[in-house]
Structure 1
């Protein structure tokens, strides 16, 4: 890269060609402080990767590239992005995470063709209702911002299938409209201020992984039993005193993490967790365990450390003999 006020230069090997035309710029972690002006002249570009540079400004000309479908700007120093970015006709994948954005231009929500959007690790305090326009989004990352609420319109993102990441914000509640995201595979809402979950969460029939650790949740809704596809439920570090009996309907659940909750009892319906491999109850206030745990055919690890169980049931030995790791 040239010093001073000269043109920023791309590192060697940054240009990728196909059919004699430059179709991609791969210049991640190249120490760039400016986007080289030459990039805007490459009209056939489909992909630009400038992750991990020192960029403080994105030229509007780059946003106007007619064939651009992937723009990666993660971990730069951007405080704003040009309005013209909302006019990129073919943009499918946009990463603006780990910058210094306090807001994004309103025209960004015109990008109806977007499939993935990463806005994590910025300083966003609100999300406009226009987010609903991005109806083809498969992945949305809003983690580690300063959001204290989500608009109900998030539930209109019917195309969300891969994941919705909300961790590390200031959320005290999740909207009931999330129940409309019936094809979503992964929901991460850890490290917020949630005191509960919406009843409609049980309508998220496609959910396979739910991460809620380090919140202030006092109970799981009865509707949790509707998550028939759920494989992992992580709810460590909350304030859950008991589980709803509907937990036993999660026959596909493989990993249940409840460590650090003031759990006082487990319902006998846990016998329905026939695919459970790992159960973490560290620090619970249990004084007894249901014998139903001994009947779980696939249980590989049961962690009971730092619980208040004084009399260890005899069937714990049977679990060990069949190969289950039991920690007390």
Structure 2
């Protein structure tokens, strides 16, 4: 894989020579001082891995849809307040999408078309809602949403039947949908620091759950069936 590694160089713009390398497959621009991206970047159609994390980006062009071979995309720790709908038009995006540490209040509905995506990290933003069709992410194995402002989860979350880890710490959830019973592959569920008052009995039916973290939900009434999970070798923290 042809790689250009330009992390931690103090760059304020991408070098012209990099933008002219149309055979480039892996571009690492982590931890620079980029505030905007040139349109030429989206002409690097051979890119498979693009790391733009820890810059000062405030906008991602709709032209990102041209990166039809990208399977790993890191936009974390920038100053983004929105993602373009076109991010859902990246057919090869399957390994990793990381948008944590931005200023996002929502994720685009088009994201749910990424049916091959395995990892989504959107922690430490200002998310107040999730797309209603979240269940379209059929290959998702790990979903990290901690430290946002979520008050509810969409019913379709139960359609994520490949999901193994769900991290929801530090939100404002007061309840969970009964459809969570559909998460038959779930191993880890982190619900710390929410506003839960009760748990759906559907949780006791999850056959592969190994860890359930309920700490710091001050008003949570613990159900009698919680002991059943522990008997089935699930580590429960309260």
- TM-score, normalising length from structure 1? 0.70
Quick check: 1:154–1:177 contact (8 Å CA) kept in 2? yes
Q: 1:300 aligns with which of 210, 234, 237?
A: 234
Quick check: 1:99–1:121 contact (8 Å CA) kept in 2? yes
Quick check: 1:74–1:96 contact (8 Å CA) kept in 2? yes
Q: Which has the higher contact order (CA 8 A, sep 6+)?
A: 2
Residue 290 to residue 247, structure 1, CA distance change in 2 (3 Å): farther
Q: 2:209 aligns with which of 273, 276, 281?
A: 276
Q: CA deviation at 1:288?
A: 2.9
Q: CA deviation at 1:298?
A: 4.3
Quick check: 1:177–1:200 contact (8 Å CA) kept in 2? no
Separation in structure 2 between the aligned mates of residue 196 and residue 298 of structure 1, nearest angstrom: 33
Separation in structure 2 between the aligned mates of residue 213 and residue 153 of structure 1, nearest angstrom: 25
- TM-score, normalising length from structure 2? 0.96
Q: 1:289 aligns with which of 220, 223, 237?
A: 223
Structure 1: 5+ residue stretches without partners: 1-45, 47-68, 305-328
Quick check: 1:275–1:297 contact (8 Å CA) kept in 2? no
Q: Residue in 1 aligned with 2:156?
A: 223
Q: CA deviation at 1:86?
A: 2.7
Q: Residue in 1 aligned with 2:101?
A: 168
| Aligned alpha-carbon RMSD (Å) | 1.4
Report the 3-state secondary structure (helix = DSSP H, G, I; strand = E; otherwise coil) of the residue aligned with 2:179. helix
1:300-325 CA distance string (max 9 Å, x none): 31100xxxxxxxxxxxxxxxxxxxxx
Q: 1:257 aligns with which of 187, 190, 195?
A: 190
Structure 2: 5+ residue stretches without partners: none
Alignment length, in residue pairs?
A: 237
Q: Residue in 2 aligned with 1:238?
A: 171
Quick check: 1:164–1:187 contact (8 Å CA) kept in 2? yes
Q: Runs of 4 or more off by more than 2 Å in structure 1? A: 82-87, 295-300
Q: CA deviation at 1:272?
A: 2.3
Q: 2:13 aligns with which of 80, 85, 88?
A: 80
Q: 1:115 aligns with which of 21, 28, 48?
A: 48
Residue 296 to residue 201, structure 1, CA distance change in 2 (3 Å): farther
Quick check: 2:22–2:45 contact (8 Å CA) kept in 1? no
Q: CA deviation at 1:299?
A: 3.4
Aligned counterparts, 1:61-72, within 5 A: 69-72=2-5
Separation in structure 2 between the aligned mates of residue 158 and residue 206 of structure 1, nearest angstrom: 13
Q: CA deviation at 1:292?
A: 5.9
Separation in structure 2 between the aligned mates of residue 246 and residue 292 of structure 1, nearest angstrom: 18
Question: Looking at CA atoms only, which structure, 1 or 2, has the larger radius of gyration?
Answer: 1
Quick check: 1:229–1:252 contact (8 Å CA) kept in 2? yes
Residue 196 to residue 299, structure 1, CA distance change in 2 (3 Å): farther
